[in-house]
Amino acid sequence: MKPSPFEISRPVTLDAAQAALRGDDHGTKLISGGQSLGPMLNLRLARPAHLVDVTALPGLADIRETDSHVEIGAAVTHARIEDGEVPDPIAGMLRHVASGIAYRAVRNRGTIGGSLCHADPAADWVTAMTALGAVLVVRGGTGAREIPMAGFMLGAYRTAMAEDEVLTTIRIPRYSDQARWGYYKICRKVGEFADAIAAFVADPASRTCRVVFGSTGGAPFVSAELARQIATTGAVPPVETVKAVLRDSGLNLSDVKIHQLAIAHSRAVTEALSDA
């Protein structure tokens, strides 16, 4: 379990990083905390000739806030979010999600940007950020562009980013005091990737209501139908209704998986609405 040979650079400007990405036509990969890529390198499942470490790029470890958004640099670690260094866009949800990622040792090095770009279907941030309606700021050769989270992940380990693009910032809209959220995951053991994740975010002030399922084998599944139903009734949908939605989702899910997703959903929404 030793990686195949690679070179690694740690550029301090985005231009240099992009030059490194363009400089080689086969196998340059960005590395941030290395908590997913590291094992894949060691298993030789990923065999890039070059690694570009993004953690020294300007602004990537920064945390900013505006009136309307919280902006998290892509190389900010889960631990910093867990510890409350990031301003709270919605009543503690970021800290809650961050604290449930793997183990503290992983959170000390793993980064939010690395997790999003790795796009593991069972990871937390892809689902949580979809529920929060985050926008990802990526910088390519022709400048920066924004990708809404809902269209970011194309499938398991696939994203909408071009090969020479670098994720720099995650922009999360601020929610009002009336906003509610729920996040529930079913894991075989503490710290493992989830078997089922459900996230729920609702804010009457911005007329937002999102229902998202994670660990479905591909991109997070967003159900507008369930969101509409909850927004209309203000109640937790019956499990059988949720299961019917998942069965009709086109996703390839086993009966057990459908049940677990539906239960996770039910618990997430119950949690969100319970103190409303």
Partner 1 sequence: MTTGIGARIERKEDRRLLTGQAKFVGDIKLPRQWEAAFVRSPVAHGRIRAIRKPEGMADRVFTAADLSDIRPIRAESSLPTYNASDQYPLASGKVRFVGECVAICIAPTRAEAEDLAEQVEIEIDPLPPVIDALKAREADAPLLHEEWGNNLFLTTFFDGDIETLRKTAPVVVEREYSTARQCMNPMEGKGTLAHWDEKAGQLVVYTSTQVPHLIRTGISECLGLDQGQVRVIAPDVGGGFGYKCVLQPEELSVSWVARKTGRPIRWTEDRREHLVAGANTRQHHYKLTAFADERGRLLGLDAEITVDVGAYSVWPFTACLEAAQAGGNLPGPYDFGTYRCRTFSVATNKPAFTPYRGVARPGVCFAMELTIDAIARAVGREPSEVRKENLVPAGKMPFTNVTKKFYDSGDYPESVAQAERHIGLAGFRARQAEARANGRFLGIGFSTFTEQSAHGTKVFAAWGLPLVPGYEQAMVKITPSGSVEVRSGNHSFGQGLETTLAQVASEWLTVDISRINVTMGDTGLTPYSTGAYASRGMVMAGGAVSKAAEVLAGRVKTHAAHLLQCKPGDIRLSDGKAWFGKAHVGFEDIARAWYLRPDQLPDDVETAGLEVTEGYKPEIDTGVFTYATHAAIVEVDPDTGKVAIEDYYIFEDCGRRVNPLILEGQAYGGAAQGIGTALFEEVLYDANGQPLTSTLADYVLPGPAELPHFRLGHAETLSPYTRHGIKGVGEGAAIAPGGAIVNAINDALSPFGVEINAIPATPEKVLGAILRASAAREAAE
Distance between CA atoms of 43 and 203, rounded to whole angstroms?
Answer: 44
Residue 211 beta carbon to partner 1: minimum distance, rounded to whole angstroms: 18
Q: Assess 191 for contact with partner 1 (CB under 8 A).
A: yes
Residue 100 beta carbon to partner 1: minimum distance, rounded to whole angstroms: 12
Q: Which is nearer to partner 1, 53 or 195 (CB)?
A: 195
Instruction: Choose, by CB under 8 A, the member of 26, 188, 207, 250 that binds partner 1.
Output: 188
Q: Assess 195 for contact with partner 1 (CB under 8 A).
A: yes
Q: Assess 8 for contact with partner 1 (CB under 8 A).
A: no
Instruction: Choose, by CB under 8 A, the member of 67, 143, 189, 207 that binds partner 1.
Output: 189
Residue 182 beta carbon to partner 1: minimum distance, rounded to whole angstroms: 16
Instruction: Choose, by CB under 8 A, the member of 44, 104, 158, 247 that binds partner 1.
Output: 44
Q: Assess 18 for contact with partner 1 (CB under 8 A).
A: no
Instruction: Choose, by CB under 8 A, the member of 67, 240, 255, 275 that binds partner 1.
Output: 255
Q: Which is nearer to partner 1, 144 or 256 (CB)?
A: 256
Catalog residues that contact partner 1 under the rule CB under 8 A: 1-5, 39, 43-44, 186, 188-193, 195, 255-256, 259-260, 263
